[in-house]
Structure 1
Amino acid sequence: MAIAALVPGALLGWVVYEAVGGGGGAEHPAAAPASRTSAASSGASGNSASPTGSAAADAKGQSAAGPLAGKVVVIDPGHNPGNFRHTTEINRQVDIGTNKKECDTTGTSTNDGYTEARFTLDVAHRLRTLLEKQGATVKMTRDGNSPAWGPCVDERARFGNNARADAAISIHADGSAEGDRGFHVILPGSVHAGAADTRKIIKPSTDLGTRIADKFQRDTGEPPSNYVGKGTGLVTRTDLGGLNLSTVPKVFIECGNMRDSKDAALLTSGAWRQKAAQGMSDGIVSFLRES
């Protein structure tokens, strides 16, 4: 979830990477960005993804039978492959309660051009499948064909709120320096300012995040971050609109560092991404079955 936009070299790598169909054999590559016309149909601003429901849900929004029947999970795949073409739109400032921040960023990429946006969508698809098998109703803030950019961070938060999610997770990968590696789960800090009030979600979000961190490490073998979190795999932040504006239990996960060669080898592996999705699913299931 690097804050800086993709550098020109990374953009060139992305173009080459997409052209040759890279990504370790991803089963769910991100589709080409949707047209603004189709994206506009989902919201007045034209960039909001309409609630993308579970493939297992019927016309009434009910999921298949299972231990998580009746539970709603929102998956937020970070960034968007079209963001770098819409810099004006994603640089627009939005209110996150404590201050204003960019609508979204481009995200990062591996040195070979495998983008964070593509990674997050692939893992999100895998996670959705696993949770549907448990009977959960799953909704995604974006999918392969929409929107063309964004959604903005405040819209991503509202998506989970409007869905009345029992749990929400925003999937990312980091863009730190070579040698910085490992995962970390970001928990909401205490914020009560403007439109933001996280006080009611801190405890359940911490429980959710702790369970995800435990299962993610177990299932993937990925160590906790060696550059943030002091080896716990957990970090608390108050500067993320997706957490500040959430009214439902929500966490972010940085699955690894795309700029580190060891982590990049994992993140570009389809087999490892399946393990990553399994770890997230196991943590979410554990949380929901006891909540």
Structure 2
Amino acid sequence: MYIIEILQYALGKAAQTFLGLWPLLLLSIVISVALKLYVDQDSIANFLRRNQRNSVVMSTALAVGTPFCSCGTTAVVLGMIASTVPWAPIVAFIVASPLTSPQEMIYSAGLFGWPFAIAFMAASIVLGLAGGAIAGFADSRGWLKNQARFAPKPVLDLPMLQPVSTPSKSKVTARMIAKEVFDMSWKLVLMFFGFSFIGYLLNGLIPPEWIKNIFGVGNAFSVPIAAVLGIPFYLNTEASLPLVRAFIDSGMSQGTALAFLITGAGTSIGALAGALTIARWRVVGIVLGTLVAGAIAVGFTYDLVVPFLV
């Protein structure tokens, strides 16, 4: 009987959370579909190649403003390397791109509130800029020489005799939009219900005092523990955000949740595999160090500062 009550509690809480958030979830789906259909990786890489003077700032802004998965991030970065873009903007993009995007900001706002969502977006920007600055310094010292896993194509100074036509991106149709909305909607709803249910089920099985003692504000090690746990246990945005929301309801601090999500998103299997496809361990080490140290700093800062602002 006790197990049945816990299952009913978990299902009820998951449904209650969904009913309170569905407008923001729908908005996040619309934004995600629009960005996916109208923004492509080649355009981003070409834009960064043409604007290298402010490349770190541009790279970070585009990283947090586009909805690329780890495969999309890898494609953009490969284009940047092939176009001889330096390491600083590349690292900035690798650090910031997996962390957040406009639709994920809306999703986070619905689950955790606008202060959390804004802090997550701001942290992604700051960490991208920090990673780019560190990589720029290391590159200027020659420490990142020969760190690309393939040689960039040579730039030839030859006159263009005739314009070269390139295939344009396929026209977006109502059918394409409807298909993307449907595909994204059922996946998001399935992930949301599945992992929020798991989170609330764990809440019913694990005493809230345990979660509060380990991941609450009162534990000085809660943020570093969460930052480390994010590396192996983070799944993806759709699954991890509702799961973390359930733990917050049981006493996890939002700063601890922020640390978990930063390291988890930035060091997921897809993100690391993409980084190692592109670069060797010195560059990947800068990315990992920026994410882990930044996640801990952001988590502590959030728990210390935000309660006084809201």
Same fold, TM exceeding 0.5?
A: no
More helix by share: 2
Larger strand share, 1 or 2: 1
Larger radius of gyration: 2
Q: TM-score, normalised by structure 2?
A: 0.30
